[in-house]
């Protein structure tokens, strides 16, 4: 039987090292590239961080596959796949806002995430989890909140880059949550949003239009902190990140009711 804790220790080590690469550039951005839109950015820090992570993984585990945000899929013959977001929150990073992270998740041949790390180097906060062993922040166990109704909750979300019909409707949903909660925040880093649910900073999180590298690691950290992660219709969490809902478990159904409250919201399932 393989030792998952060994993989987790390795992931923590290389995530922190990739974070050190990012901090050499933080506050000193010399070049930016645009991907799909003017606000979908990539920096040298993204690329160097990803290249470093890939190099270290292939050096240590030659038969492990990798799916990374900037370079895509590198398929191998082993039983494990690393899911990498080398710099989640690039726009924040580019504007000297210290809400960004390295995100690493390890998925087995059964499509289960077995360990995960999300590291925010600007704050030196390292979130991590191993399947069935709990979630931790800098060595201290973390847990989701016990809030039972949305009216006593603070939740977090994000918005997509593409300005289409879904984008317009997302603001209608935003208003419904804003009217039903103590407040709603938008921080710009999905992996940290999930970790903040896991540590009890937020009670719930929803978003659409994400990718697997945005949600893989953070979702396990929420689950191991006692939370619940599903699609918007309460089905098993989609690995592709198209629609994600993560909560303390107690407000989950109430959030699902809002996310599916109008017929026109079915567009999100197309």
**CATH assignment at residue 161:** 3.40.190.80
Backbone angles phi, psi at 203, to 5 degrees: -95, -25
Shared domain for 155 and 191, answered yes or no, is yes
Q: Is the pLDDT reported for residue 47 higher than 70?
A: yes
Print the domain residue range for 10. 4-141
pLDDT band, residue 37 (cuts 50/70/90):
very low
Shared domain for 127 and 191, answered yes or no, is no
The radius of gyration of the chain's CA atoms, rounded to the nearest angstrom, is 18
Query: What value, to the nearest 5°, has the Cα angle with vertex 137 and ends 131 and 138?
Result: 115
Distance CA 51, CA 45 (A): 10
Shared domain for 123 and 60, answered yes or no, is yes
For residue range 63-78, list pLDDT tens digits in order.
999 999 888 888 888 8
Shared domain for 157 and 248, answered yes or no, is yes
The rounded Cα 121 to chain-centroid distance in angstroms is 15
- Which comes out higher in pLDDT, residue 206 or 165? 206
pLDDT band, residue 29 (cuts 50/70/90):
low
Q: What is the pLDDT of residue 88?
A: 96
Last residue of a domain, one of 79, 114, 141: 141
Last residue of a domain, one of 121, 141, 161: 141
pLDDT band, residue 41 (cuts 50/70/90):
very low
Q: What is the pLDDT of residue 160?
A: 80
Q: What is the CATH number of the domain that holds 128?
A: 3.30.540.10
Shared domain for 231 and 248, answered yes or no, is yes
Shared domain for 53 and 102, answered yes or no, is yes
Shared domain for 137 and 95, answered yes or no, is yes
Distance CA 12, CA 93 (A): 21
Q: What is the pLDDT of residue 40?
A: 39
For residue range 150-203, list pLDDT tens digits in order.
999 999 999 887 788 999 999 999 999 999 999 999 999 999 999 999 999 999
Tally the domains of the chain.
2
Q: What is the pLDDT of residue 43?
A: 75
């Amino acid at each position: 039987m393989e030792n998952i804790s060994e993989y987790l220790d390795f992931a923590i080590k290389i995530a922190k090292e990739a974070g050190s690469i990012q901090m050499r550039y933080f506050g000193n951005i010399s070049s930016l590239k645009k991907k799909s839109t003017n606000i979908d950015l990539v920096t040298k820090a993204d690329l160097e961080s990803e290249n470093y992570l890939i190099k270290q993984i292939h050096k240590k585990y030659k038969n492990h596959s990798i799916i990374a945000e900037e370079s895509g899929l590198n398929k191998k013959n082993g039983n494990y796949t690393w899911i990498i977001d080398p710099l989640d929150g690039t726009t924040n990073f580019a504007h000297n806002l210290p809400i960004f992270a390295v995100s690493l998740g390890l998925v087995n041949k059964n499509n289960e995430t077995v360990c995960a790390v999300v590291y925010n180097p600007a704050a030196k906060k390292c979130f991590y989890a191993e399947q069935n062993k709990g979630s931790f922040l800098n060595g201290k166990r973390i847990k989701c909140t016990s809030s039972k109704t949305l009216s006593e909750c603070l939740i977090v979300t994000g918005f997509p880059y593409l300005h289409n019909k879904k984008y317009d409707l997302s603001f209608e949903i935003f208003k419904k949550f804003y009217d039903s909660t103590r407040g709603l925040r938008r921080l710009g880093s999905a992996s940290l949003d999930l970790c903040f649910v896991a540590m009890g900073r937020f009670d719930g999180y929803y978003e659409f239009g994400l990718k697997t590298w945005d949600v893989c690691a953070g979702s396990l950290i929420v689950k191991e902190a006692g939370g619940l992660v599903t699609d918007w219709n309460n089905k098993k969490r989609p690995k592709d990140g198209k629609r994600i809902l993560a909560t303390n478990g107690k407000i989950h159904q109430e959030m699902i009711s809002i996310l599916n409250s109008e017929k026109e919201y079915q567009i999100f399932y197309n």
